[in-house]
Structure 1
Amino acid sequence: MTSPHTLPPPTPYDRGLALLQRLEGREPPSLVEALGDVAPDLARLAIGFVYGEVLARPQLALPQRQLVTVAALAAMGHARPQLKFHIAGALNAGCSSQEIVELMIHLVVYAGFPAGLNGMFAAQEVFTERGVPHQPAPPAGAGAAAADRYRAGWEALCRIDGSAGTQVVASLAGVAPYLGRFIVEFAFGDVYTRGGLDLLQRELATVAMLSALGHAAPQLRVHAHGLLNVGGTPEQLVEVVIQVAAYAGFPAALNAMRVVQDVLAERASISAA
């Protein structure tokens, strides 16, 4: 029984409100003001569930969670106000402008150049509105010979995705060998080898993007392996998919979780053999 002098534990809404105020940097949050006259219950549900139950979980650090959210929203491509909000939230959570920019460059591999460009324009607006200084990184790999690009990309592919990735490239040899070469040279040789994000951040973002897109189960399987190969934990892998439910919906998260279950079971059986 709680004593008269003991405060009751915070409710999910209380936790969510505190976290949202931390990410937005204002009190009360704009979500409460925006929906107060028309749908206050929607604001309470969003704050209590998304921020108080999902984002408050300890399996991912807050900067990781904000990168996951920005990755999912940017990949989906139809939630610009929320994308800008969470770019600002990522900065408030401790992410750098360089990490945000690098995330948008990484995005082009999985959602295409239009999504990457739109995400970059949104980030640029946030930087300008907040007066965030940003110095572009020097060009990476400028003038590299084709053989060097391919070698660097192949090494990165093998390190990150292992046999799951090399099998994808091998499967293209008889029908579209240049597509396989572009995957190696561009995606892994040009993008994955850049600075700004470490490999775990890249794979957390990739799993979030592919889960949110909802139509790339084979590629999600490859990158679920990739996240574990670069030092991510099963708990972090599962947590990314749980978080995607808040932004892309439960069907997308459920479909992604089935892929994750298969990957974890496969790796468990190999370890037990």
Structure 2
Amino acid sequence: MSESALNKRQIAIIPIAAQTASGDIDGLKVSLNKGLDAGLTVNEIKEILVQMYAYTGFPRSLNGLGAFMGVLQERKEKGIKDEIGKEASALPADYDSLQDGTANQTQLIGVEVKGPLFDFAPAIDQYLKAHLFGDIFARDVLSWQDRELATIAALANLKGAGSQLGSHYAISMHNGLTEPQIRAFIEVLRQTIDEQTATDAAQVFDQVLAARR
């Protein structure tokens, strides 16, 4: 499948998220440079790296942000002027992270999220709704489609996260990513991460498609 199903910005998001998830800082620095050259703004990349903490933990996110600071300094010393990009819009004064995050989650996924896991640990349900979908997904620096692309890239390169990857493939398609685009995503993983990661990601995607049919 040709990468042409994705645009340059989308292609650039994939290794940034995936290498942040795995802690491949040397590879990440290369991908950060390529991302800036492909048209991602400084604030868009920062937003990707910040979002990663919700899926891969603070250490990976902080290391990614530190690497990005270094890349920007090196580019500045070379006389490269990178576009900063827009900041996140201010939220309404009466914004309620839990209430609005629940609505965001339902819209993003297509159904209200319930289940035994969330009954067993209601705190994680509240954190997901209020913080991830309320605080993070409410920020409009990135589209939800871009955020989902970053999410599946991170999960694909995170060992033991196949179930979550499958769920987010379905969420990605619900939010407009097409089957050819996800096939192209897998090919970007093959070229920028490794063959096994791409093969595993393709296997999970095939299972998702089979279930949908």
Q: TM-score range by the shorter chain?
A: 0.7 to 0.9
Match of 2:79 in 1: none
> Which stretches in structure 1 are left out of the alignment for 5+ residues?
1-53
Moved more, 199-208 or 256-265: 256-265
For residue 187 of structure 1, the aligned residue among 115, 122, 132 is 132
For residue 70 of structure 1, the aligned residue among 10, 16, 20 is 16
* Post-superposition offset of 1:172: 2.4
- Whichever residue aligns with residue 159 of structure 1, its letter is Q
For residue 109 of structure 2, the aligned residue among 157, 161, 165 is 161
Bigger radius of gyration among the two: 1
> Which stretches in structure 2 are left out of the alignment for 5+ residues?
77-81
Matched, 1:59 2:5: yes
* Post-superposition offset of 1:155: 1.4
How large is the RMSD of aligned CA atoms in angstroms? 2.3
- Whichever residue aligns with residue 62 of structure 1, its letter is K
Aligned partner of residue 84 in structure 1, secondary structure: helix
* Post-superposition offset of 1:174: 3.1
For residue 250 of structure 1, the aligned residue among 186, 195, 208 is 195
For residue 210 of structure 1, the aligned residue among 149, 155, 165 is 155
Match of 1:229 in 2: 174
How many residues were matched structurally? Answer: 208
Query: For residues 1-273 of structure 1, what are the structure 2 equivalents within 5 Å?
Result: 57-77=3-23, 79-131=24-76, 132=82, 134=84, 137=87, 141=91, 148-163=96-111, 166-167=113-114, 170-267=115-212, 269=213
- Whichever residue aligns with residue 71 of structure 2, its letter is V
Instruction: Tell me the distance in 1 between the aligned counterparts of 2:94 and 2:48.
Output: 23
Identity level (%):
28
Moved more, 123-132 or 206-215: 123-132
- Does the Cα contact within 8 Å between 2:3 and 2:187 map onto a contact in 1? no
* Post-superposition offset of 1:139: 8.2
Instruction: Tell me the distance in 1 between the aligned counterparts of 2:93 and 2:74.
Output: 35
Instruction: Tell me the distance in 2 between the aligned counterparts of 1:139 and 1:114.
Output: 27
- Does the Cα contact within 8 Å between 1:75 and 1:115 map onto a contact in 2? yes
Q: Any idea what the Cα deviations from partners look like across 1:221-255, whole Å, max 9, x if unmatched? A: 11101111111101111221222223442222222
Higher RCO (CA 8 Å, separation ≥ 6 residues): 2
Instruction: Tell me the distance in 2 between the aligned counterparts of 1:156 and 1:187.
Output: 10
Aligned partner of residue 194 in structure 1, secondary structure: coil
